[in-house]
A and B are shown apart, each in its own frame.
Chain A
């Protein structure tokens, strides 16, 4: 049964005016938070309180609020997307906290994701990795061969789908002590590598993606696996292994 009660909490939130200004943790007290609220609804409630008190509301990223757009972020009590595993912040509910808890809220921290304001960071590096090679070079004419002309084994299609489920949230980078983007990039490489459509330019793709990833200032992967643990979509380390294999083949060619 739904818990349906109200709790009072203390918030320690990272405030930073803009990219150039130094930030600091501020403390807020918030009463009467319904345990049925999502974490983001709790932040809405805080902002309502701040605005009513003529204070600046906290900026944070969000959109779909159902775990699919990848827009929400947040380091909560030292973990990407908070205490639960395999969820996004918009799926975290206040029933995970107790009355009187103190909750630390910080932005993703990674060199490649500079802070824009408060809890909002710039993840456009991910777009540039995608632009470097995350596609099949087919014209958008619709005059391609019939969709069923190339059978794809169900097993491959399912695994490609699993890799394609990445929402580009950046939790993997944020939770990695090296700030590596290997899980994200590995998911892109895998989703195409597993399908016949993606085979033709596989060599070029993986080379371009790896080059771009390095240029963006992401760190190296040292196989600590923190990314997999915090990934809300269960993207597995296998994808990193597959990217490494693809890269090795590509460089040997």
Chain B
């Protein structure tokens, strides 16, 4: 049943040879074929543009007012590619290896190798489109390094790489829209998939302005709807990010894989209070210059929280640089999952420094860097006897040159000056490695329904390395789907237009309509956000950075109860046939409730620690993760079993590592 369709043959030749065998659709036949693309982030926009350009009839959907606003726009750091422009020994194999290792050996080798192979083409493509990547003075592309690697393979455009890449894909998409090859449906939300004869043949979408339910048919449907981090309510994701499209196809037969794999990013601005709506990421690059600490003494932490002490008043010997203490080799540069857990451990032990109801937060301190860089600058300028003031002034200038933007952003949000006082940071939900299960063709278990980008589970295993999500989104859309979708569609050139006045479309539309009506007539007493926050609370506390069997069992039950209460007591104002943001939220939270429970169940069955999934029962004497490669070397793919989520069935795709030797990850 669960056939990953990995082609046979030598790893490095698989994709090349496979492409030669895939079936094609001749150019004159492509206009007879319709394709729906849900989502216009990096994955969706690149797929829609490429397929439109090939000559297929494409309909693309997004819930924002323009494809340019997809969540991909927010990515800061950069995009990886094995170009070896820096001559530091990078290669396709090394990118492949780092990605597999970074993912804690829970990703599929063949997919990851393909990703590494096409990474170079992505950069060529984007540059040809006019994406203004950073350049060096010789006019060549510049690179930087990112966590978890020893080479400089990350291409970037200041702190706005996602924006520039998305604008590149958006411009390619716009060109196709202008030429009439792609029809764009802005402010439309897909609320169900329509299957005919077992195959994906269309969707039901709600026009978010008029509230009208629309039927759209196609020969294939591509879901590129992004990740589900907002199940936690607070995350670094954009407010609209949701799981609905992915969840709706799950309910109609697409397996959902590894839902418990969630990446928590260590350097976000902590929660300021109960009215907070989202969290902001501070780029990981800051960890290159900042030292992370909390007070050594509990009294000091309490005094800081009470506002009686300032961090600058804590003497050097009273500070606990806990990452440097625990991981002397990597120090502040340990991978994301390791850094996040260590911060949580200190805050749970009562050393958190944030003065609010959560008391969570640690310091990211630049004062040592300011002094050391200030001295260097003074010496470089020939001043071998600088005063303290001179050193500090020069050091601040160095920091400003390098991180000015980020420091400004931090100051805007917190009203604190990070040049004078250490930044406060705390881990936050950032990215979801789990998603819809797809085979090598990126096809889900529903024939004709493909899934791309963060919405699918492939490529990142249990932990994503920085700068790899953007790469995957564009690889899927520009270079994988055009081949694999064509192969699937080759059987459809005589099918003709799929009619929408059929029982299957009636059925799907009616079920969407009835769930909308149910919400609007419910007349409960509590807002949608009330329930979303409660769900987020359970998720963060029991399915968050560290999980244990007892907490997960409780979470399954509590979410189940919350879901019942939600349907009983939620109040959704307004009508069905108008712009109604509360209704939009209600429909999304309904799906988050079911997903949240499945995440807890998935975490419960995975009795090991891997990457972003840390089970407290499975750690070594020093508090490090213990993977179980004998019993859990698989992708856990769940099959929907009806409205009782407990009835989901787990299918296992065993991961065979043929080319990489599995080893423990160690950062000591």
B172 touches A140 (CB 8 A): yes
B66 touches A127 (CB 8 A): yes
Q: What are 13 of the A-B contact pairs (CB < 8 Å)?
A: A4-B355, A41-B276, A57-B582, A67-B409, A69-B71, A93-B415, A117-B209, A127-B68, A130-B68, A135-B129, A136-B128, A136-B129, A165-B160
Interchain CB contact (< 8 A) of A147 among B65, B69, B124: B124
Most buried by B among A40, A48, A123, A164: A164
With known contacts A18-B578, A57-B582, A61-B65, A140–B50 Cβ distance under 8 A: yes
* A59 contacts the other chain (CB 8 A): yes
Q: What is the bound-complex CA distance between A154 and B137, given in angstroms?
A: 6
Known: A71-B64, A122-B65, A195-B132. 18 other contacts (CB 8 A): A2-B415, A45-B275, A56-B574, A57-B574, A63-B71, A64-B71, A66-B74, A67-B409, A91-B412, A123-B65, A124-B186, A127-B174, A134-B174, A143-B124, A147-B127, A158-B132, A160-B132, A161-B132
With known contacts A4-B355, A197-B128, A62–B139 Cβ distance under 8 A: no
With known contacts A2-B415, A131-B174, A161–B164 Cβ distance under 8 A: yes
* A50 (CB) vs chain B CBs: closest residue: B573
A142 touches B125 (CB 8 A): yes
Which chain B residues in 256-304 approach chain A with CB under 8 Å? 272-273, 275-278, 280
Residues of A within 8 Å of B49, CB to CB, are 140
CB 8 Å contact bits of A42-73 with B (1 = contact, 0 = none): 00110110011011110101111111111100
B118 touches A142 (CB 8 A): yes
Q: Is the interface of A mostly helix, strand, loop or mixed?
A: loop
Residues of B within 8 Å of A157, CB to CB, are 132-135, 139
B275 touches A151 (CB 8 A): no
Residues of A within 8 Å of B127, CB to CB, are 144, 147, 150, 197
Residues of B within 8 Å of A109, CB to CB, are none
Q: What is the bound-complex CA distance between A64 and B83, given in angstroms?
A: 31
* B423 contacts the other chain (CB 8 A): no
* A224 contacts the other chain (CB 8 A): no
With known contacts A44-B277, A69-B69, A36–B579 Cβ distance under 8 A: no
Q: How far is the CB of A237 from chain B (nearest CB, A)?
A: 20
A124 touches B66 (CB 8 A): yes
With known contacts A116-B579, A140-B49, A41–B275 Cβ distance under 8 A: yes
* B496 contacts the other chain (CB 8 A): no
* A122 (CB) vs chain B CBs: closest residue: B65
Which chain B residues in 319-349 approach chain A with CB under 8 Å? none
With known contacts A51-B582, A152-B135, A56–B573 Cβ distance under 8 A: yes
How many of chain A's residues have a CB under 8 angstroms from any CB in B? Answer: 82
Residues of B within 8 Å of A70, CB to CB, are 68-69, 73
Binding site for B on A (CB under 8 A): 1-4, 17-18, 34, 36-38, 40-41, 44-45, 47-48, 51-52, 54-57, 59, 61-71, 87, 91, 93, 95, 116-117, 120, 122-124, 126-127, 130-132, 134-148, 150-154, 157-158, 160-161, 164-165, 167-168, 191-192, 195, 197-198
* A94 (CB) vs chain B CBs: closest residue: B275
Q: What is the bound-complex CA distance between A145 and B238, given in angstroms?
A: 35
A152 touches B139 (CB 8 A): yes
Q: What is the bound-complex CA distance between A192 and B164, given in angstroms?
A: 13
Residues of A within 8 Å of B121, CB to CB, are 142-143
A51 touches B277 (CB 8 A): no
With known contacts A63-B238, A124-B66, A3–B578 Cβ distance under 8 A: no
Interchain CB contact (< 8 A) of A151 among B65, B139, B174, B416: B139
Residues of A within 8 Å of B571, CB to CB, are 51, 54
Nearest first, the 4 A-B pairs at minimum CB distance are A151-B139, A142-B121, A135-B171, A131-B178
Q: How far is the CB of A56 from chain B (nearest CB, A)?
A: 6
B66 touches A144 (CB 8 A): no
Q: How far is the CB of A156 from chain B (nearest CB, A)?
A: 8
A34 touches B238 (CB 8 A): no
Q: How far is the CB of A195 from chain B (nearest CB, A)?
A: 5
Q: What is the bound-complex CA distance between A68 and B74, given in angstroms?
A: 6
Q: What is the bound-complex CA distance between A37 and B174, given in angstroms?
A: 36
Residues of A within 8 Å of B178, CB to CB, are 131-132
Interchain CB contact (< 8 A) of A138 among B129, B132, B138, B413: B129
Residues of A within 8 Å of B581, CB to CB, are 57, 59
* B141 contacts the other chain (CB 8 A): yes
* B53 contacts the other chain (CB 8 A): yes
With known contacts A63-B69, A68-B73, A168-B68, A191–B170 Cβ distance under 8 A: no
* B213 contacts the other chain (CB 8 A): no
B278 touches A65 (CB 8 A): yes
Q: What is the bound-complex CA distance between A148 and B86, given in angstroms?
A: 12
A142 touches B122 (CB 8 A): yes
* A198 (CB) vs chain B CBs: closest residue: B130
* B184 contacts the other chain (CB 8 A): yes
Q: What is the bound-complex CA distance between A69 and B65, given in angstroms?
A: 11
B130 touches A195 (CB 8 A): yes
With known contacts A135-B129, A135-B174, A146–B124 Cβ distance under 8 A: yes
Interchain CB contact (< 8 A) of B275 among A34, A145, A160: A34
Q: How far is the CB of A246 from chain B (nearest CB, A)?
A: 15
Q: What is the bound-complex CA distance between A54 and B526, given in angstroms?
A: 10
Residues of B within 8 Å of A41, CB to CB, are 275-277
Q: What is the bound-complex CA distance between A65 and B581, given in angstroms?
A: 16
* A140 (CB) vs chain B CBs: closest residue: B50
* B96 contacts the other chain (CB 8 A): no
A51 touches B527 (CB 8 A): yes
Residues of B within 8 Å of A120, CB to CB, are 579
A2 touches B414 (CB 8 A): yes
Q: How far is the CB of A191 from chain B (nearest CB, A)?
A: 7
CB 8 Å contact bits of B563-605 with A (1 = contact, 0 = none): 0000000010110001101100000000000000000000000
* B155 (CB) vs chain A CBs: closest residue: A147
Q: What is the bound-complex CA distance between A3 and B71, given in angstroms?
A: 31
B130 touches A130 (CB 8 A): no
Q: How far is the CB of A4 from chain B (nearest CB, A)?
A: 7
Interchain CB contact (< 8 A) of A63 among B64, B415, B574, B579: B64
Q: What is the bound-complex CA distance between A63 and B129, given in angstroms?
A: 26
Residues of B within 8 Å of A65, CB to CB, are 238-239, 277-278, 280
Interchain CB contact (< 8 A) of A62 among B172, B239, B413: B239
A148 touches B85 (CB 8 A): yes
Residues of A within 8 Å of B132, CB to CB, are 157-158, 160-161, 164, 191, 195
Interchain CB contact (< 8 A) of B128 among A62, A138, A192: A138
* B81 (CB) vs chain A CBs: closest residue: A147
Q: What is the bound-complex CA distance between A1 and B354, given in angstroms?
A: 12
Q: What is the bound-complex CA distance between A167 and B66, given in angstroms?
A: 11
* B641 contacts the other chain (CB 8 A): no
Q: What is the bound-complex CA distance between A146 and B573, given in angstroms?
A: 55
* B50 (CB) vs chain A CBs: closest residue: A140
* B105 contacts the other chain (CB 8 A): no
With known contacts A64-B71, A68-B74, A197-B127, A36–B137 Cβ distance under 8 A: no
With known contacts A63-B64, A124-B186, A154–B135 Cβ distance under 8 A: yes
Q: What is the bound-complex CA distance between A148 and B66, given in angstroms?
A: 32
With known contacts A135-B171, A168-B68, A127–B186 Cβ distance under 8 A: yes
Q: What is the bound-complex CA distance between A59 and B136, given in angstroms?
A: 45
* B478 contacts the other chain (CB 8 A): yes
Q: How far is the CB of B238 from chain A (nearest CB, A)?
A: 4
Q: What is the bound-complex CA distance between A144 and B122, given in angstroms?
A: 10
* B90 contacts the other chain (CB 8 A): no
* B157 contacts the other chain (CB 8 A): yes
With known contacts A68-B74, A70-B68, A168-B68, A154–B139 Cβ distance under 8 A: yes
* B196 contacts the other chain (CB 8 A): no
* B136 (CB) vs chain A CBs: closest residue: A154
* B177 contacts the other chain (CB 8 A): yes
A123 touches B66 (CB 8 A): yes
CB 8 Å contact bits of B522-544 with A (1 = contact, 0 = none): 00000101000000000000000
Interchain CB contact (< 8 A) of B175 among A54, A63, A67, A131: A131
Q: What is the bound-complex CA distance between A44 and B130, given in angstroms?
A: 38
Residues of B within 8 Å of A67, CB to CB, are 409
Residues of A within 8 Å of B529, CB to CB, are 44, 48
